[in-house]
């Protein structure tokens, strides 16, 4: 293992070249790279910043062979700046040519539309890659710096590999996505900004409005050296009205446009996933910690089995494939991956510590928020997953009523009291299973029959207030009245509906308050946290029963939950989930009907969590129909296993991609059913359910 001194020697032996991407043919602002900025072309500002950066051995400009870029080449020649000319459209190939021409070992990728680049930020990114030994380092993934301070540092070997292997048009136009997406192959690091909120700043040049802001800033900055980003911030703090000049522009609009115009690619390979599952299964049963994330729930041999990272509404697998993610980690990711507000809260708390010897005030701060938003919540206790919360609620109900039996309507976790009533009851004592009774959702008579069959024996009825269908009119209130007449408590399992149906859960949407309620999943936007809430008189029994865990007050998850709930309230997130999920549901149903497949494929449930259903066809089982549909959706770049788990970060482009994928997948399914050969094509390679917990009405 290298010592710090040895690493320093190795770093100094590597030729580090800044290569600036520059061309005149901008769509929205032609000629921008040579636009005048206080007497100097924009390109000169970028070259100056690169030359002033500690650790840079040479500066090159990579422009194209197009006649329109002769002006760039001439400027470089006149100013003694090395230049390489290559393909106009294939920018990755142009970079590869510049790498070879310059003899670089390490490449700093800069773009000529960022005149306010800070040499100190570039130098830190160079150093980050060097000391970590990463193949790639940047300050953009995720973005925490102003748009316009973008810097990427990549080894020449890595960039040349990308140039040789990348096939997507967007990968070749934008140079580094192939590297960033292939995290299992190329190690990556990110330089996080030390100040919060910087990602909202826009200092890049792509529109006339951007140029107006940059001209205003340039006139206020010192002219004898590249500016520090702190100097730019100081100007904007003194004159905040300047930010209005380009406030409506979106970050990375060009990349989003490239993705939207690409032809649908269904040629994904899963070789690395298949290799890794063999390795994982040697030490992990099923190769996964979660049944619903395991290979059993995906098309055999035709789906990713491991991911490397996520961003917004997308996720990336170990083979470098990109997907719009409609699983959302089984619904925790209500805001999306790497949400900047939640990530900031986690980083801030990480600086203070994770788990402590006494409670932190975060516990009461989060509990106060829950009691403010959730109608039934008078007191709160925290757990780490949904089963913690539902099991705590069941124990409270048994303590409050001094009864043992339970009625259950839905899925409620893996503990004995629930799973013992299902076909997955291996290992559960028969005496425990005998106390748990399943009943169909929406059937009051079935519940009443159980209550009468075992009078004065039921502690509680626990249900998901909604899953595959809206509750019948008056059903939830009538259910509450019924169980109360028989001396039992009503528990809402809002692990899924909480913070999706509304910030107060389904109980707030439907106007019925249970005695106890369980929340989790979306509560921490991916961090492990859950809560049982309810009436104070029942919750105070927590002081007598034993519900206690070392990590109940773990601070990172508490901080994440506070940030999540505050953003849900501030940004009206659940309104967007209903809108986006509703539009997706409507459009998919229309496509299913147009393909004449509504006899075998359906969508039930609610917009924030629409569930796919399947029926047998004359030539194929419902399991085969499901397997083929999911296989083709995944091949088209949509990660899905059972439902539309939409999140706040899903963009219009993401949803458009999902609909294009459905067009493809439904077409394949229709053709296969018409030929009658689905079962033959799939063989026995179909998805089998773990067990059935929610019957579609």
Q: Which residues are catalytic?
A: 411, 493, 521
Three-class SS of residue 346? Answer: helix
Q: What are phi and psi of 558, to 5 degrees?
A: -65, -45
d(CA 508, CA 477): 13
How many CB atoms neighbour CB 272 within 10 A? Answer: 20
Q: How far is CA 474 from CA 464, 466, 477, in A?
A: 16, 13, 6
Q: Which residue in 686, 614, 694, 601 sits closest to 296, CA to CA?
A: 686
- Could you list the beta-strand ranges (E) of 183-222: 188-190
Proportion of the chain in helix, strand, coil states, percent, rounded to 5: 45, 15, 40
DSSP track, 8-59: HHHHHTS-EEEEEE--S--SSSTTGGG-EETTEEHHHHHHHHHHTSTT--EE
User: How many angstroms separate the CA atoms of 383 and 537, rounded?
Assistant: 20
Task: For residue 246, give Cα distances in angstroms to 114, 214, 518.
Answer: 15, 10, 45
Q: Which two tokens stand for residue 179?
A: 């590297």
Non-local CB neighbours of 430 within 8 Å, separated by 6+ positions: none
Bridge partners (DSSP) listed for residue 110: 20
DSSP string, 80-116: T-EEEEE-SS-HHHHHHHHHHHHT-SEEEEEETT-TT
Element (H, E) at 152: strand 152-155
Annotate 401-462 with three-state secondary structure.
Answer: HCCCEEEEECCCCCCHHHHCCCCCCCCCCHHHHCCEEECCCCCHHHHHHHHHHCCCCEEEEE
Distance of CA 203 to the CA centre of its chain: 26
Tokens of 659: 């609909």
CA distance 43 to 22: 8
Q: What is the strand order of the sheet 643-644 is part of?
A: 601-606, 609-614, 643-644
Length of the chain as a residue count: 697
């Amino acid at each position: 293992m290298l010592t710090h001194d040895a690493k320093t020697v190795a770093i100094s032996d590597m030729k580090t070249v800044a290569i600036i991407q520059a061309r005149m043919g901008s769509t929205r602002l032609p000629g921008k790279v040579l636009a005048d900025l206080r007497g100097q072309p924009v390109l000169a500002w970028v070259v100056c910043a690169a030359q002033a950066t500690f650790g840079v051995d040479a500066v090159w400009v990579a422009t194209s062979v197009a006649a329109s870029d002769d002006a760039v080449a001439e400027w470089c020649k006149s100013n003694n700046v090395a230049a390489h000319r290559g393909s106009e459209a294939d920018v990755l190939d142009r970079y590869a040519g510049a790498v070879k021409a310059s003899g670089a070992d390490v490449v700093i990728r800069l773009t000529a539309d960022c005149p306010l680049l800070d040499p100190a930020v570039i130098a830190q990114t160079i150093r980050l890659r060097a000391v970590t030994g990463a193949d790639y380092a940047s300050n953009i993934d995720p973005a925490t710096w102003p748009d316009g301070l973008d810097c990427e540092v990549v080894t020449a070997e890595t960039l040349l590999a990308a140039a040789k292997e990348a096939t997507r048009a967007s990968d070749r136009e934008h140079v580094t996505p192939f590297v960033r997406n292939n995290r299992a192959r190329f190690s990556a690091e990110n330089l996080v900004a030390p100040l919060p909120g910087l990602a909202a700043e826009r200092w890049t040049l792509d529109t006339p409005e951007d140029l107006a802001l940059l001209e205003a800033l340039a006139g206020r900055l010192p002219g004898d050296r590249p500016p520090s980003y702190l100097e730019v911030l100081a100007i904007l703090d003194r004159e905040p009205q300047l930010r209005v000049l380009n406030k409506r522009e979106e970050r990375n609009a060009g990349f989003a446009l490239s993705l939207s115009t690409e032809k649908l690619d269904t040629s994904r390979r899963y070789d690395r996933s298949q290799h890794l599952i063999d390795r994982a299964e040697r030490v992990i049963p099923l190769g996964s910690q979660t049944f619903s994330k395991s290979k059993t729930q995906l098309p055999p041999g035709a789906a990713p089995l491991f991911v490397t990272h996520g961003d917004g509404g997308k996720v990336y697998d170990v083979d470098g494939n990109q997907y719009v993610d409609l699983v959302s980690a089984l619904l925790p990711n209500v805001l999306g991956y790497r949400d900047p507000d939640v990530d900031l809260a986690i980083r801030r708390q990480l600086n203070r510590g994770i788990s402590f010897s006494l409670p932190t005030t975060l516990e009461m701060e989060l509990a106060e928020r829950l009691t403010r938003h959730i109608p039934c919540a008078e007191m709160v206790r925290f757990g780490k997953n949904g089963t913690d919360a539902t099991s705590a609620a069941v124990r409270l109900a048994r303590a409050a009523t001094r009864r043992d039996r339970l009625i259950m309507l839905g899925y409620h976790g893996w503990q004995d009291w629930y799973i013992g009533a299902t076909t997955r009851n291996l290992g559960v004592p028969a005496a425990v299973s005998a106390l748990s009774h399943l009943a169909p959702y929406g059937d009051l008579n079935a519940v009443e029959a159980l209550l009468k069959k075992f009078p004065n024996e039921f502690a509680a009825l626990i249900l998901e207030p909604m899953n595959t269908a809206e509750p019948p009119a008056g059903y939830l209130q009538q259910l509450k009245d019924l169980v109360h007449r028989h001396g039992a408590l009503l528990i809402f399992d809002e692990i899924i509906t909480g913070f999706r149906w509304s910030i107060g859960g389904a109980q707030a949407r439907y106007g019925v308050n249970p005695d106890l309620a369980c929340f989790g999943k979306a509560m921490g936007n991916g961090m492990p946290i859950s809560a049982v809430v309810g009436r104070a008189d029942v919750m105070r029994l927590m002081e007598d029963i034993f519900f206690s865990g070392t990590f109940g007050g773990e601070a990172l998850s508490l901080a994440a939950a506070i940030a999540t709930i505050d953003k849900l309230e501030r940004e009206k997130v659940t309104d967007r989930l209903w809108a986006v999920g509703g539009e997706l549901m409507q459009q998919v149903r229309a496509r299913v009907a147009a393909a004449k497949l509504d006899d075998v494929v359906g969508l039930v449930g609610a917009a924030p969590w629409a569930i796919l259903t399947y029926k047998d066809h004359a030539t194929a089982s419902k399991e085969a129909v499901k397997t083929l549909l999911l296989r083709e959706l995944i091949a088209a770049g949509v990660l899905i296993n059972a439902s539309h788990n939409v999140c706040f970060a899903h963009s219009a482009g993401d949803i458009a991609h999902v609909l294009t994928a459905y067009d493809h997948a439904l077409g394949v399914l229709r053709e296969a059913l018409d030929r009658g050969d689905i079962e033959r094509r799939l063989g026995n390679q179909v998805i089998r359910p773990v067990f059935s917990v929610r019957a579609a009405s």
